[in-house]
Amino acid sequence: MTSTLLDPVAQKAARLVTASERLSFDPMTEIDWTQDIGDTHLHLPAEYLPLYGTPQWDAMTEQERFAYSRHECAALCGAGIWFENILMQLVLRHLYDLPADDPTHRYLLVETADECRHSTMFGEYIRRAGTPAYRPGLRLRLLGKVFLRVANKATGYAGILAAEELLDASNRATMKDPAVHPVSRDMARIHVAEEARHVSFAKTWLAERWSTLSRVDRGIAMVLTPLVAFGIVDSIIDPQVAKAVGIKGGTGAARRNPHQKARVKTDLRKLTGFLTEVGVINRATQPIWRGLGLMA
């Protein structure tokens, strides 16, 4: 037990459990769900909408922008539920290997419980937003299953970090933007507070365990992580949104949008910097990240 307590991963896990006792939210009571999720506000900050800055965006009236943002927010919630499901499976797989007296055992249960509440919150938004129940298409859903088959722990934690760093940037902008609907701002505030511990744990695990992994495990993580990050970026633009809202050429415009591409690289900067320090990104794998538009 003493040696477990000296392990930095176990120490971090124990600190994060204590933090979770101080700061955890039940979104079903924390958010006032009696508020109408209607088109009185933007539902995400303008600069975080995939069509922001395109001719399609310029052509929209204010009301149309509000409605479009409601659909984008519901689609982002749908992508969040998809990714959190994958993430919980990875976390539970790690948990399976641990004895109950390891502090990481308790921490991983906290992380799973956090994600259960987040997915409940995203589902509640979708049910109330009056949009289709968006979720990633069949191709991404199948790739998610393949990923779960081949991912090792290092790929899992790097993938968790990729999703959480990317969404953290959008959540931080959302919670601070007074032009955004209060329900979206509340969801973002809850998510930022609780995801901070998941990011902190994934970073500690990767930094501490990377050098102890086999060459094969490191190789798998080095090749798979940029593909996972690309899948997450791809899931943010849901072709069903443009169809449902009736925006001609919307999906193509969002995919080509230079503003959106630049933002993804900026929002991933913290992640790519950290993964370069650890060694997940190196001279051999950096071209994959650049080629997929994930880093400058």
- Binding residues for Fe ion, rule: CB under 5 A, are 115, 118, 195, 198
Considering the complex, what minimum distance in angstroms separates the CB of residue 206 from Fe ion? 15
Considering the complex, what minimum distance in angstroms separates the CB of residue 195 from Fe ion? 5
- Nearest Cα to 192, choosing from 11, 23, 62, 14? 23
Measured CA to CA, the distance from residue 81 to residue 69 in angstroms comes to 18
Please, which residue, 98 or 192, has the CB nearer to Fe ion?
A: 192
Please, which residue, 187 or 254, has the CB nearer to Fe ion?
A: 187
Measured CA to CA, the distance from residue 159 to residue 150 in angstroms comes to 13
In this structure, is the dihedral angle defined by the CA atoms of residues 35, 38, 39 and 44, taken in order, positive or negative?
positive
Please, which residue, 102 or 195, has the CB nearer to Fe ion?
A: 195
Measured CA to CA, the distance from residue 81 to residue 97 in angstroms comes to 25
CA dihedral (209, 212, 215, 221) in degrees, to 10, reads 0
Considering the complex, what minimum distance in angstroms separates the CB of residue 121 from Fe ion? 9
Considering the complex, what minimum distance in angstroms separates the CB of residue 13 from Fe ion? 15
Please, which residue, 86 or 280, has the CB nearer to Fe ion?
A: 86
Please, which residue, 72 or 115, has the CB nearer to Fe ion?
A: 115
Considering the complex, what minimum distance in angstroms separates the CB of residue 208 from Fe ion? 19
- Token code pair at residue 53: 């800055």
User: Residue 180: beta bridge partners?
Assistant: 42
- Is residue 90 within 8 A of residue 112, CB to CB? The reply is no
